[in-house]
Each structure stands twice: as structure tokens, then as C-alpha cells.
Structure 1
Amino acid sequence: RKVVKFCMENKKILELRQEMTLKEKIGQLTQITGEHYVGKIDNEMVETGPGYSQQLLEGDTLYTIGSIIGVSSAKITNLIQSEYLKKSRLKIPLLFMHDAIHGYKTIFPIPLGLSCTWDENILRDVAAYTASELRASGIHVNFSPMVDLVRDSRWGRVMESFGEDHLLSGNLGGAMINGYQKDAEGKISQDGVAACLKHFAAYGAGIGGKDYNTVDMSMREFFDYYGKPYEIALKEKPKFVMSSFNTFNGIPVTASKEMMKDILRDKYQFDDIVISDWGAVSELQNHRVAQDGREAAELALTAGIDIEMVSTLYLENYQQILEKNPALLHEIDAAVLKILQLKNELGMFENPYVDEDLEETVILNQKSLQFAKEAAKKSCVLLKNDSLLPISKEYKKILVVGPFANTQELLGNWQCKGRFDDVVALSEGMRLVDESLELSAYETLEDCPKDELEKCDYIVAAIGEHWELSGEGHSSVNIELDKQQQQLIKDIKKTDKPYACVCFSGRPLALQDIIDDIPALLWCWYPGTQAGIAIAELLTGKDTPSGKLTMSFPRYSSQVPIYYNEYSSGRPANESSYSSRYQDCEVGPLFSFGHGLTYTNTEYSNFKISGHKITEGQDIKISFQVKNPSEYEYSEIAILYIEDLVSKAVRPIREMKKYQVVTVPANQTVTVELVITLDDLHYLNGSLQQSVEPGEFKIYINDLEHSVFTIEH
């Protein structure tokens, strides 16, 4: 059922703004939760947030508000919209916003898992399916994607990220923006939603991996790395950017004119709506840059925060602020216009409601569930395999054991409105995928009857980190696998049965103490609604894993932050203690960025380079062949790195510059071509100027060195 969208001319929008009182304008810049209009209804609403003045929201003020967060279902959004419009003087509809980070009710793999597909098409489609479900439920704006660059897996929100590489993070974020909005040039289609890029800026670089913590770095590091994902993703024109909680070089970002205006607005050319994170305007008082709510509100308004999320300091203090600083009225008017224009683009003035029948056909439909399964399979990464996977067809008596054997809690954090009851557990998935298996599943080895253990052919250890241990506010100092699960693996090893480990987590874990006891390891992150079926198809050999890591796995918790593109050192890590290493730990990560195995024994050959010199206007083309000598059709991820051999400023040991996801049919060979331009070799020098220097560069395809080329001016 398609609803035709009618929009007013911009002239009418300007006339509407002209008719608004100042209080009504400030109301449009304020976001609250929905229970004020209809009361708390089951689990369809989030809890009321910080910074509320209940007295302020009494009377007509409540009917000036511009947007609502955290409400779900078409029935409830329609109910709130109806109650609001009955008493709204100008009948300006409410925007409804939500956090559907990796799905709304059909839940896809967590973003860190999705990033391991390296496939922009997959992420675009995940966003498109999510947008359809959101819009059918009456929601207009989604607080996604998060492109914060992360190098420290102690940070709980790493599960929302796309990993440690800036180029990949930006590209995948851009793909999701395109998928949410479903239209080119920043427009929103009939069943799309406004995307919100977050969290600007450098939120993933909190000191010590602690959430909400201080960020302090050079501007060279910011513009070349931590700022780059936002710069790339913004090219897809999201309707929103969310400011981050953290301070950046001493100033809270929500109060930073440098970050929000000089960089986001001027340098990165973002001209749409900026919204604060939850309660961040009020928290400027906790940062101690504002003495009271009035100062906090003025700082945020001055920095360019258009919408204050879940606090009401703008409404409480606007009169005093404008008496002191009347020039801010121009910025308020500009913010109101952007919000009204978005509501107009969404067709809300003509039809502020949603057809409640849509949910039944859109949500958890078979097409989205099938895609969720495919996305889950491609997000899994085979980290280790001593020929124990796939499970041999001669093994029929399979024992699945561990805390994740039977659980349906495989959605991960930020599961939005996903339900565990809709999830296929691992044991159930294996039964569905292969009915010939004699399968039993237990939470511990002690639960398994002795005779059953003795008779089984093969054991799957289902291990990992509980989903509640990652996500916002869940940073951890210890990211090792817990002792009970380590002992489980050792006990399984003692049975002398063939076995493999399947691991679920929201972050890379530190596995050095147990990795030698794991003969095969399939890392599944949190795969979503279709988890069990997807993993079972990989374990039983109906399909092959193809994902590659986008974040390095440390050996021990204390080794983080660890990442592949670290800067060259005067004393590179080697066997000597007097080098850049820990004396009690092997050099490097346990599993590095870009690592990932398949069942295919892929062969790379026929490497060719179009030339060995690159100049302005003369690119270098690198081609090679990928042979798949197996019965699987799969997606090979080819990654091109460069190494700048000599430069005036210290450069990373290695940098990923290009990648391509290519489908390789069974028993076929495909040719891959990647192009390096002079722009790919630019970097910021110490004066923050784009620089490219003559000299030699090495090329690596995945882990193999292939050639050297030079830059000539």
C-alpha cells in the first residue's frame, strides 16, 4: 500500500514560521519522551530522561514540542500524534525518532559484525529493511549509523562501530545513510527515514576505553583518521548529525563552536539538523563549563545544537538567553526552518499518521528474515581452522555445549524492538538445517549424561560474552573469556572428541590463554534474529564463512588499544626488550585486521601493475586473479595496503587504501582490478596541509607484498 506524499511549497513553510511565537519555535528545538501525552504504555515507550521540569511541561508548553524519542508501534505513534494535534495551536506534527541500530524488529548482526562483510550493498540493504519497518511503525528518524573510529575494544560501544579503519568506516556509514533514506542527494523516499550520523566527533577515542570519557588528540590525528569517517559518510547527505558526549581537546563537543561550526558546518559542509545526544546539553553542567542550566543552554545554542534531546533547558531559559544574546534568534529561526522543511518533506502536514495495517505486512516478513540470515552468514569470521570445520558428514551424533547452546539471546545490545522469542537458537538452527543429525544441547558438560558424551561424534562449544556486557555504558577492563568457559574448552579437549568453538560477543576478546586449546573458531559476533540457522549452515558446510576482521583481536586485555595502521617507531617491535613491545607478550595482535579464513583454499595469482610510476592524472591499475577451487560460491574480500617507505612526517606501518568484495563462483577464477590515484597517497603534514611526496611505496594484497611503485611530481 503506497501513500502518496504531498509537500507544501517553501513559501508556505516560511509563512508558518513567521506565524510561530518564540515559545513555539523553541518547542520545535526540544525533544522529550511520549508518556506525557498518553501515559506509560507497556514497553512501547522509553523511560523519561534526565533534566525534565514537569512543571514546565504542563499546559500549552507540552503542545509546542517538536519531536518524541523512543516510542514504538503505529498504534502508539498515531495515538500520541492525535492527542498532540488536538491541542497544538498551529497543528505542526511531531517527529518520532528511535535507535534502531541494527534493525527494528527484524534484527540483523551488530554493526561490528556487519562491517566484517566489507560489503556496502549488504549494509545498504540492512538499513533499507530497517527503514521500512520503522516507517511502517510511524517513526521518521533513526539514530544511525555510528561511524566513530574505535581502536580500543574495552569500549562497550565498539559493537556499534565499523572497526578500526577510517576509510571502511566512512564508506559503510555512507551506505547505511543511503539505505535509510532510500533516495539520492539526501532526499527521503516514501518508506525511508531520516538518517542521523553519529557521534560527532571522535567519541570512540575516549581515554582508557571508558564511555563518555575525555578525548585528547592532535588535529592531524583527527583530520587524517578520527574525523575521516564522518567526512566520507557526510557525502551521502544525512538529515541529522548527533553531537557526542565527550570533550575534545578540553571543550565538550556539545558546546564547541570549533567542532560544530568550523569543522562540521564549514569544513565538512553539513547544513542540516544537529541534535544533541541524550541529556548532553544538561550535562554541560557536569563538565563544569556551565554554572547552571541557562549557561548550558546558551553554550549549546551558540555552538549550533538545533535540537536538545531529552532535556528542556532551551525551553526553561530562552527568554533570559535572548535578552542577553539577541543574535541567537537568527540561529533559532534557521534551526526551526530546517525542522519544518523535514516534516514537510516527509509529507507530515498533509498526513501526520501512519497506516496501522502496514506493520503486519512489513515487519518480520519472509524477505527480510531471509536477508537477515544471509547477512548473518557473511558477518561471521572463521578465525582458526585445523581442518575441523565444516563438520564432517560422517559425524551424526552432535553435542552442542556451553552457555550459548540453547539460548535465544543472540540479538546483541541495542536490539531495539527485537524479541528473543523470534530468534532461532544455535541448537535449533542445527536441527532445522540438517534433520539427519542426532543433536543434543546442554549449558554445561556436567549436564550431559556420561553415556551420551561417550557416544557423540563431534562437539560444538558455544561460548562468548553475554550481550549485556557490551553496548553503551558497558566498558570493561577485562575482555578475556571468563574462567568457566576456558575450563569448558579444556574439559572438551580432554574428551578426545573432534570439536570446534562458536563464539558470540559484542567486541573482540583477548584469547591468548585459551587459543591453543581451540582447534577451530568461528566468530559470530551477535548475528540477530536468524542466528541459529545462519551459523548452522556454516558449521555443516552448506555455505562457507567469508568475513574478515575489521578490528584487531588483542592477546591480552592490557594490550589494547591495538590496531593495524599504527605509526612507525624508531625502535620497531622485535625480540629485543629495547623495542616498541611488551616484554611479557608476543608482538602484535592475536588476530589482525583483515584476517579471515574460508573453506575454499582461495588462490591469488597473475598479479599485474600498469606501471611503476604515478603522477597527477596518471593512475596505477593493479589486477590479479582469484581462483576458487571449491564447490562453494562465496564473496572474497580483496584488500590493498600501501607502505610509504620514506616520508617527511611519520606514517603508519601499513594503510588500507582500496578493497573490493567480489563474488567467486564455485570452481571459477575471477579477475579483480584496483586503482590507486595520487589522491590516495595524500596525508596531512605537521602544518595540517595536504601533502604528497615523491618516493617509493610498497603494495600489499591482503598479507602478501607484490610490488613497489614511485611517485613523481
Structure 2
Amino acid sequence: MKEKELWNLFQSMTLAEKLGQMTQTTGEYFVGKEFAEELVVTGPAMEEMGFDSENIHRVGSVLGVSSSQAINAVQRAYLEKSRLGIPLMFMHDAIHGYRTIFPIPLALASTFNTKLIEKVGHLTGQELVATGIKVNFSPMVDLVRDARWGRVMESFGEDSILSGRLGRAMIEGYQGSADGTIGKQNVIACLKHFVAYGAPDGGRDYASVDMSKKELFGFYAKSFEIALMAFPRMVMASFNSFNGEPVTASSYLLEEVLRQKFTFTDLLISDWGAVSELKNHGIAANDKEAGYLALNAGIEIEMVSNTFLKYGEEYLSRKPSLIEKINQAVWDFLNLKNEFGLFEHPYVDENEEQKVIRSKKIVNAACEISEASCVLLKNENDLLPLKKEDTLLIIGPFAKTQDLLGNWNCKGKAAETISVEQGFKNLASNVHAYKYLDEVPEELLEKSDNVLVTIGERWDKSGEGHSSVDLEIDTAQQSLIYDLKAMGKKVIGLGFSGRPMALGAVIDDLDALLWTWYLGNEAGNAIANLILGIKSPTGRLAMSFPRVSAQVPLRYNELGSGRPANDSTYSSRYQDLPIGPLFPFGYGLRYGRVKIAKVELSSSVISDDNPLNISLELTNNSEYDTSESIILFMEDSISKIVRPVRELIDFQCIALKKGENRKVEFVVQTSDLAYINNEEKKVFENGTINFYINDLNKKVANVEVQNRREGIYK
């Protein structure tokens, strides 16, 4: 539709029709139970939601409808009764894949590979487009440091630069560009949840968040600031309150910070039911007041509540200037629909879906990305890899199951998922899998020197609404490990979870440990490829593993202390626990060795006029084609306020052929060394900066910062 035609359409809209475009609901109101398996159902009846046979055909978008057939049916039923014929836009939560399920985002973050993350976004977008879905509620770049929070599985971990850059890559994959332009075979990315949702009190989902502005802008908002550089066309406000103010009703966070400070200019949507939940927060007495607060704060699409449509006319009589917000939101949304060509082509080609969904190209990519997402945490005496000819005995709760998709698995099917048992059987002939130790024939147990033990927590123990205080593996799994060790077996752990687990009770009894998280449809194939040495593990932890549950929240970039942790009683440590995490951020082993050598600095001084080049030489001494993640950390040991003991500056993932030697370079600007102070200002100071590569405890170089000016840095 030409812009003039679109403008004429906009001019012909009534206020009720405009408010309808700002309202989102689910699809069952249009097709009933005809496509029950393809709908996410709200629960309340249409009347309870405040809809009737007339205003339901004014809404602008629908979420949770799957399959091209169901989407076309909803669209058809809607357009038959819509006065202006403005098509619905369909949205969904394909967090780590739509029908082909990739590793959970926390596992994807272990790749430290922006190209792979972009690929996940691109391939997921292809399946969504073929189905008729135009908006994906992803990525989530909430910074997380507390493994008790269930939604850590949706995150990219505990570092804001890593989270932001992986989020940016995923947005570019979804949208098909780096400038916000939506490609023909791409979808809109909805960046979420703005902001600080990942820091709830006690790790309890939906709980309040209280933190300093220094912490907010230095860490929790930083990941959003970086991801917004990819120009996502939609942002979702978070459920939580921030310093006593619910984000859904916060003009400060949504207008001053997101719009003005971070210059976001596209559509802002609430989370599911969050507008109505302002009543539960205690800042609104009823739905009418809740809607007014949200609209006034800048919410432009209300997800699964109906206050705008019901009370919008009253809001305007109360504050006439709100019409400017309404008009801008509706005009932007109509333009987005027009950009997709929805006015001319409101329906999707149902034949295309079958060609794209779970195509060989996408499934093969899922296996490759799953392999890159696993982290080798222990490998005593190079026990791994095993040989195909070995007797392969696999025991434990995840040995035979196909429930390996992880939470938020969209339209993924367990029946299409490769179990651990099947993955090994695809490569070897002498494979035996059992859920319990007492099922294993005595003769088989006697001749099995090495035993693969599957440990962790079930997929549905993490995810939204699934916060837990206990991060230990259960006692039955602990006993299985102890019993096998007592028999003199070499015990190889395969770890499954949506969060870091506390493994202090069993780590000494494991001879090797590969943490696989939840890898999606290709889990079994990827795990077998790694354990049997067809591929080498390359992942690194994006989130630290505690020794015991009570050690969380935990992060590598904690602030320095006047009495740093040491063997002294009077230092910052627990008296009954070794210092530090069991496995820190960035940790990950390999088969063979990739050597880092010849770390060189272009200068001993860095300034605005003299950026610093850090170069190093990588040599792949292993027997594998592999990838090596190079993580550059800094330490500012003397500053005007306490700084983190280590801070990530940059990272690269380098592909290396067997025996290959490559030079790697980082460019460090003075802005990379600045920080947010207690007055919310970005500050730059002269002094000495120490650098670390991969190893948080091994300094490799330092540089003197000698700038002509100090103080506020712009």
C-alpha cells in the first residue's frame, strides 16, 4: 500500500479502532477450539476479557497461534467482520527455535560465537515466516547472576557485554539486517525484558528489583544498550518493579531511559497481562487506572488485557494530549504491517510451511550449534574422548528420554528429538542404556570400565515461574555416582539443566564431565559426536557454577573488597567453603590444546588519540579442527570508586584447522575502559590497566592510560 493510501486509511479510523490496534489477544476468540493444538489459550472467556462480538474485530495483533492453516483461519475469521480490513499481525515466543529446537539461550551463550547466534535467529525466522508469524518475542538479554531464577535458561549469562552482543547478533539474524530493515524472509525481533528483570529479590520470578543507578546503567541496562544497536523493531517492558516503580508504568524507564537515552523509536509492548497486574503491584485500584498509567508511561501495545480499548475514551477526556501517543503508536504499527505487505497479502502460503519446517539444512545446523554449546568441565587424565569400539554403558534419568528440548520449546516435539541412547547408537554398535543401576546386567557392569552417567534436573524445572532454592543434583543421582565410583569405575558425567547446578558434592567422584544443558532436537547426536571424539568440545561457561546452592548469587565481576578472600579468617570468604565458584565464567576445556602465545601491545600507553592494539598468536596443537573463544578481560586496580575485580572488554571466536596458526587482534578504545559512577555518569580515569586472556588469574599485559583529560566521558 502506498503511503498516501495508508494515511487515508489511518485518517478514517475511529478512536475505538485505533485503540484496538494497540490491543493484543490470543486466537481462540476467532476460531474456537477448531485448532486447539495450535493455540495458546488465555483461559478467561471473551466476556471476562472485556471483548464482545464487535470490538474483538478491532484488535491489531494475536499471539500464540501456530501453523499456517490456523493463522489463515484466524485471519479469515477476523477480516470477514473487520470494518476497515486491517489485517492482524501474528506474534510468538520462539525462544530457541520454532519447530526445529536449538539449544537453550544459556547454552548458546557458551559458544561465545556471534555468527552462530545470528544463524540461530536467521533459521528460526525462516520457520516462523513460513508459518505466517511476523514478530518473535526474542531475544532476552536480561543480565542474570542468580541461578535460582528460573529464567536464566532464556538468558545469555552473567556478563552484560556478552549478553548485549549475542542479543544484537540474534536480532540481526531475525530481522536480516543491522539497520532495522526487515528482509523478505525475516521476522521482527522483540527485545526483552526492559529492564532489570534478571535481578529479582531472592531469585524469585516476578519479584521486585532494587538497585543503584550505577548498577543499572553499568550492568543491567548495558546489555540492552548494546543490543539496541541492531535496531529491533519492538521492545517488551518487563513485569518487575524497579526501585518501587513497576516498569510497565514507569515514564522514567520507558520514556527517559529507553526512548531518550537509548534512542529507541519503534514499538513498545507490555508483557502478558502486565498492565492489569499493576493492581497487584498496589499502584492501581482497578483496571481502568492501570491502563491509564501504562498508556501514559509509553506502553503502545497491551498484551492480553483490554484496558486501552475499554477505557481509552475516558483516558483522553482526562488527558487530551494522550492522543499524540495513540496516533503515533497506531501509525507506526500500520507502517510495520505495510512493510510486510500484509494489506495486499494477509494470508500465508500453506504449502511453503512443509518445505521449510525441519528442512535438512536447519536440522543439520541445529546439530552443529548443539555441539558448540556444550562445555567440557572436567577430563582427568584425558579420559575423553571414548572410542566407538568401547562398551558404551549409559545410566541415569536422561539416558533414554527424548525430553531434551528444554523449556520454552515452542512447537518442538519430543518425538523428533534424538535421545542420548539413540545418538550413540547412530555411531556405535555396543551401546547399552538404562535408567537405573539395578537394571544393568551384572556381566555388562563388570566389563564396563567407563560408565556414562546422566545427571542434572528435568527440563521443566527451569523456565518462567520455575525458580528454585535447591541447585544440587538429587540424592539418587549422587548415590549413583558414589556407587559406581566405589566399584572402581571411571565415571563420566553428562549434565542436563537450564541453569548452573551446584556440583560440589559429586565433582571429586567424576572423572570427566561434559555439561550439555538442554540442546534441543539434535541433543543425542551432538553429545555422541563429542564423547566419541568426532568433534571436540569448544564451549565456555557464560554463567559461573556454584559449589553449593547457598553460594548464589554469584558472578565473576564482583566488586573488589578491602579484605579480599584468602586463607585468613578475616577476609571476604565463607568459613566452610573453598574460595570462588566451582567453575567460573569463561571456563571450558578442550581435547588437545590450543596454545596462546606472543601477546603483544602496540604501545605502552593508551589515549583518545592512541587506541591500543593487543595481538596474540593462536596455534591449534590438537588433532581436531576446532574453535577457540578468546576472552579479553581488564582490571582497573586503582580508581576513584571500587571497580569489579575483572571486567570483560571483548571476545572473539576463532575457527582453527588442525595444526593451524593464526594471529588474533583486539582494538581497545579509551571508552572501553570507562565506567558508570555513583552519579550515573560515565567516567574516565588515567592510570594502569591490567589485561587477562581467558584465565581470570593470569595477567598477560598492562598499559598506562595517559589522556589529556579525565572525568566525564562522552
Report whether the alignment pairs 1:65 with 2:59.
Answer: yes
8 A Cα contact 2:389 2:430, kept in partner: no
Greater alpha carbon shift after TM alignment, 47-56 vs 289-298: 47-56
Tell me the residue number matched to 1:463.
455
Q: Distance in 2 between matches of 1:55 and 1:151?
A: 37
Three-state SS of the structure 2 residue aligned to 1:567 is coil
Three-state SS of the structure 2 residue aligned to 1:153 is coil
Q: Distance in 2 between matches of 1:376 and 1:45?
A: 28
1:384-395 → structure 2 map (5 Å cutoff):
384-393=378-387
CA 160–51 in structure 1, closer or farther in 2 if over 3 Å, else same: farther
**Deviation of residue 50 (structure 1)?**
6.1
Q: Distance in 2 between matches of 1:13 and 1:61?
A: 22
Q: Distance in 2 between matches of 1:55 and 1:600?
A: 60
Report whether the alignment pairs 1:472 with 2:464.
Answer: yes
Three-state SS of the structure 2 residue aligned to 1:569 is coil
Tell me the residue number matched to 2:711.
none
CA deviations over 1:332-358 (Å, ceiling 9, x no partner)? 111101110110001100000100011
**Deviation of residue 361 (structure 1)?**
0.9
1:113-262 → structure 2 map (5 Å cutoff):
113-262=107-256
Stretches of structure 1 lacking an aligned partner (at least 5 in a row): 1-7
Q: Distance in 1 between matches of 2:685 and 2:178?
A: 36
Tell me the residue number matched to 1:533.
525
CA 51–284 in structure 1, closer or farther in 2 if over 3 Å, else same: farther
CA deviations over 1:306-328 (Å, ceiling 9, x no partner)? 00000111112112222111111
Query: Pick from 16, 22, 26: which aligns with 1:23?
Result: 16
1:152-551 → structure 2 map (5 Å cutoff):
152-393=146-387, 396-434=390-428, 437-551=429-543
Three-state SS of the structure 2 residue aligned to 1:186 is coil
**Deviation of residue 150 (structure 1)?**
0.2
8 A Cα contact 1:378 1:546, kept in partner: yes
The share of aligned pairs that are identical, in percent, is 50
Q: What is the TM-score with the length of structure 1 in the denominator?
A: 0.97
Three-state SS of the structure 2 residue aligned to 1:282 is coil
Three-state SS of the structure 2 residue aligned to 1:230 is helix
CA 389–538 in structure 1, closer or farther in 2 if over 3 Å, else same: farther
After TM superposition, what 4+ stretches of structure 1 lie above 6 angstroms from structure 2? none
CA deviations over 1:477-496 (Å, ceiling 9, x no partner)? 11111111011111111222
Amino acid at match of 2:399: A
8 A Cα contact 1:697 1:710, kept in partner: yes
Three-state SS of the structure 1 residue aligned to 2:4 is helix
Report whether the alignment pairs 1:11 with 2:8.
Answer: no
Q: Distance in 2 between matches of 1:252 and 1:586?
A: 39
Q: Distance in 1 between matches of 2:681 and 2:324?
A: 34
Greater alpha carbon shift after TM alignment, 14-23 vs 87-96: 14-23
8 A Cα contact 1:53 1:312, kept in partner: no
CA deviations over 1:636-667 (Å, ceiling 9, x no partner)? 01111111020001100011101111111101
**Deviation of residue 566 (structure 1)?**
0.6
**Deviation of residue 63 (structure 1)?**
0.7
CA deviations over 1:284-329 (Å, ceiling 9, x no partner)? 0000100111110000000000000001111121122221111111
Report whether the alignment pairs 1:79 with 2:73.
Answer: yes
Q: Distance in 2 between matches of 1:619 and 1:665?
A: 31
Q: Distance in 2 between matches of 1:133 and 1:500?
A: 36
**Deviation of residue 677 (structure 1)?**
1.1
Q: Distance in 2 between matches of 1:52 and 1:535?
A: 46
Query: Pick from 663, 671, 676: which aligns with 2:668?
Result: 676
8 A Cα contact 1:395 1:458, kept in partner: no
Query: Pick from 86, 104, 114: which aligns with 2:98?
Result: 104
8 A Cα contact 1:105 1:363, kept in partner: yes
Tell me the residue number matched to 1:710.
704
Alignment root-mean-square deviation, CA: 1.2
**Deviation of residue 389 (structure 1)?**
4.0
Amino acid at match of 1:258: Y
**Deviation of residue 10 (structure 1)?**
2.4
**Deviation of residue 394 (structure 1)?**
7.7
**Deviation of residue 280 (structure 1)?**
0.1
CA deviations over 1:246-273 (Å, ceiling 9, x no partner)? 0001100000000000000000000100
**Deviation of residue 395 (structure 1)?**
5.1
Greater alpha carbon shift after TM alignment, 318-327 vs 29-38: 318-327
Report whether the alignment pairs 1:37 with 2:63.
Answer: no
Q: Distance in 1 between matches of 2:558 and 2:537?
A: 28
Stretches of structure 2 lacking an aligned partner (at least 5 in a row): 708-714
Amino acid at match of 1:335: A
Q: Distance in 1 between matches of 2:608 and 2:304?
A: 50
Q: Distance in 2 between matches of 1:54 and 1:75?
A: 27
CA deviations over 1:139-172 (Å, ceiling 9, x no partner)? 1100000000000000000000000000010000
Question: When the two structures are aligned, how many residues end up with a matched partner?
Answer: 704
Q: Distance in 2 between matches of 1:456 and 1:569?
A: 49
Query: Pick from 602, 621, 635: which aligns with 1:643?
Result: 635
CA deviations over 1:7-38 (Å, ceiling 9, x no partner)? x2322222211100111111101011101111
Amino acid at match of 2:188: A
Amino acid at match of 1:375: I
Tell me the residue number matched to 2:580.
588
8 A Cα contact 1:49 1:311, kept in partner: no
Three-state SS of the structure 2 residue aligned to 1:708 is strand
Amino acid at match of 1:659: F
Three-state SS of the structure 2 residue aligned to 1:232 is helix
Q: Distance in 1 between matches of 2:75 and 2:581?
A: 52
CA deviations over 1:566-605 (Å, ceiling 9, x no partner)? 1111111111232211111111100000000000222111
CA deviations over 1:68-117 (Å, ceiling 9, x no partner)? 11000000000110111011000000011100000000000000000000
Greater alpha carbon shift after TM alignment, 34-43 vs 417-426: 34-43
